[in-house]
Amino acid sequence: MSTLLVLLPIAMLVAGMPIFLILLATALVALAFVLHVPLVGAPQMMFGSIDKFSLLAVPFFIFAGEIMSQGGVSERLIRWVQSLIGGVRGSIALTTVGTCEVFGAISGSSPATVAAIGRTMYPALRAGGYSDTFALGLLTSGGAIASIIPPSILMILYGAAAEQSVAKLFIGGVLPGILIGLLMAAYIIVYARSRNLAPTERFSWLRLAQTTRQGIWALAAPVIILGSIYGGICTPTETAGIACVYGILVGRFVYREITWRRVFELAGSAAYLTAQIMIIVAASGVFSWLLTISGVPQAIVQFIQEMKITPVMLLFAINVLLLVVGCFIDPSSAVLVLTPLLVPIVRLAGIDLVHFGIIVTVNLSIGMFTPPFGLNIFVSQGLFKAPMSTIVRGVVPFLLIQIAALMIITYVPWLSLYLGQFTK
Amino acid sequence: MMQRLVRMVSGLVGALLLVAVAINFSNVFGRYLLDMPIFWAEEGMGFIQIAIVVIGAALVARDNAHLKMDAVEHFMPAALKRWVDVATAALTVVVALVIVWMASDVVMQMVQNDQRSMAMELPLAIPYSIFPLGFSLIALFALARLVRLLSRKK
């Protein structure tokens, strides 16, 4: 029976059944027929798993991201970053990375960032002489930065599953997010020089002043989001809700690019995306209950203890596992299923759980654009009507860059923990 | 009939999210500017979130869009794919009905014991009723899909 309970869920996963259904079905069968526990606790576990104030940040940040990308905020951010980076070879591609960093401070979703930035930057990159392969690779992989720069949906889910402060995780993502951006920028400069791409018009203070004035409301969004969290004014969840109101006011009354009807439609679509992610949170609550009762995490911890694995080797093994998992399973599900299993092992090895949260986030955000099943690849395919083979060839250099960054982030905890010292 | 239900549910979850945004804003505004925070805000938004997730999950089930690992699915022969779809719809109906059954028991217990929430003192049976309601919808939409799949010619 126990073997069946391991093999059957794997078979169901491979067959493509929904993850929430696999978690619920496995947990209910094991609790009822193996452990003989009354199932009446299952709905209470589900209720308790989603009735967490910190998780309310998920629908709020999804909604805020949708509102800001459709309400004219992303366009103005692009123009501002463009005016900031002028006169260097590769400036259009550098603008793309820079905008991903800034937009990442509003949106916590990687595919949403690819869509928001890609619509404007893809034609600009092609017109600037960049090959189709390079442009597609850059846009598909650049969106991953949004999952690492705060706010981040993945960090909120990890924080709930590992019982860690979301604010500390958010601040922990800042330096790793900047590191990835810098490594990508270095590659872009080398690429642009080797292809002798023409630089764009020179930097001018006048143009920067103009784009700053035009985009002041858009630029204020990341300042409000990060400022209110780290100024101790609001919790991340409250800030996410305020960002929604700000996005609606700016998109509706300042830029006048969205109607009330569109606001309502976007709320519906954000609620739909929330249900897709959070029903797995509910199901994983029942699954975690099963794991706790059956003593699986303790057994894994004991096994690892007996193996006498060093923290360095353990982190390497977990990185390989997460990179492989990230190729096949969406990051939200992977965080929710693996965190309860990995946290006891990592804690035992003396690894900081905020640092580990950043490693998990960076790792799974790489999975978002890893061929052949990364979600961003399908977003790019749909958005730019590009063949899959071109996108896959394009992401390879960026994949290698981000794996190199992941290794640095894994073995230099300072990057993830330094800024956290200054938060309450 | 089914289309009207889908439109209604879709409108409901969107409206609930907007209500949660409004409560959050009023709470922060009240706390800082009027020194009058809404004492039930966190609890109320938590209940709204449960409704968005469980009722929204029914819509996702209707579209067969729940998150899954679809790596192998692309390479499956059509006949096998059809049987996986049938098994998924059937299992969804069974699991959803088990949850409806268990959650109804919990709701009945809460009514008998008159359990109430901490801040609003709302009978807990009300937010817990979202589970039987939402999972009934999930079962209904999955059953409709199962019937569609089985009545479709191979």
B interface mutation test: which of A10, A13, A17, A337 has the most B CBs within 10 A? A17
Quick check: B36 contacting A, CB < 8 Å? Answer: no
B interface mutation test: which of A40, A248, A252, A370 has the most B CBs within 10 A? A40
Instruction: Inspect the interface and report whether the beta carbons of A275 and B55 lie closer than 8 Å.
Output: yes
Give residue A109's pLDDT band: very low, low, confident or very high (50, 70, 90).
confident
Has residue B98 got a pLDDT over 70? yes
Select from A15, A241, A279 the Cβ nearest to the Cβ of B53. Answer: A279
Q: Assign A418 to helix, strand or coil.
A: coil
**Residue among A380, A375, A379 at smallest CA distance from A132:** A380
Task: Tell me which chain B residues have a C-beta less than 8 angstroms from the C-beta of A21.
Answer: 66, 88, 91-92, 95
pTM of the full structure: 0.85
Phi, psi of A198 (to 5 degrees): -70, 140
Select from A17, A244, A332 the Cβ nearest to the Cβ of B88. Answer: A17
Has residue A339 got a pLDDT over 60? yes
Quick check: B15 contacting A, CB < 8 Å? Answer: yes
Give residue A7's pLDDT band: very low, low, confident or very high (50, 70, 90).
confident
**pLDDT score, position B154:** 53
Give A299-306 contacts, CB < 8 A, sequence gap 24+: A300/A341, A300/A344, A300/A345, A301/A344, A301/A345, A301/A348, A304/A345, A304/A348, A304/A349, A305/A348
Beta-bridged to residue B116, according to DSSP, are B123
Note the pLDDT tens digit of each residue in A42-89: 888 899 888 888 888 888 988 988 888 788 888 888 888 888 887 788
Instruction: Inspect the interface and report whether the beta carbons of B56 and A271 lie closer than 8 Å.
Output: yes
Quick check: B115 contacting A, CB < 8 Å? Answer: no
Quick check: B79 contacting A, CB < 8 Å? Answer: no
Quick check: B106 contacting A, CB < 8 Å? Answer: yes
DSSP state, A196?
T
Q: What is the average pLDDT score of chain A?
A: 87
Note the pLDDT tens digit of each residue in A196-236: 887 777 888 888 898 899 889 988 888 888 888 877 788 88
The end-to-end CA distance of chain A, in Å, is 49
Instruction: Inspect the interface and report whether the beta carbons of A272 and B13 lie closer than 8 Å.
Output: yes
Beta-bridged to residue B123, according to DSSP, are B116
Highest mean pLDDT among A160-174, A341-355, A399-413: A399-413
Task: Tell me which chain A residues have a C-beta less than 8 angstroms from the C-beta of B32.
Answer: 233
Task: Tell me which chain A residues have a C-beta less than 8 angstroms from the C-beta of B56.
Answer: 271-272, 274-276, 279
Task: Tell me which chain A residues have a C-beta less than 8 angstroms from the C-beta of B91.
Answer: 17, 21, 25
Please report how the helices A331-348 and A260-294 are oriented relative to each other, as an axis angle in degrees rounded to 10. 40
Task: Tell me which chain A residues have a C-beta less than 8 angstroms from the C-beta of B142.
Answer: none
Task: Tell me which chain B residues have a C-beta less than 8 angstroms from the C-beta of A67.
Answer: none
Task: Tell me which chain A residues have a C-beta less than 8 angstroms from the C-beta of B67.
Answer: 18-20, 276-277, 280, 330, 332-333
- Whole-angstrom Cα distance, residue A47 to residue A274? 15
Contact A193, A89 (CB under 8 A): yes
Give residue A99's pLDDT band: very low, low, confident or very high (50, 70, 90).
confident
ipTM field = 0.94
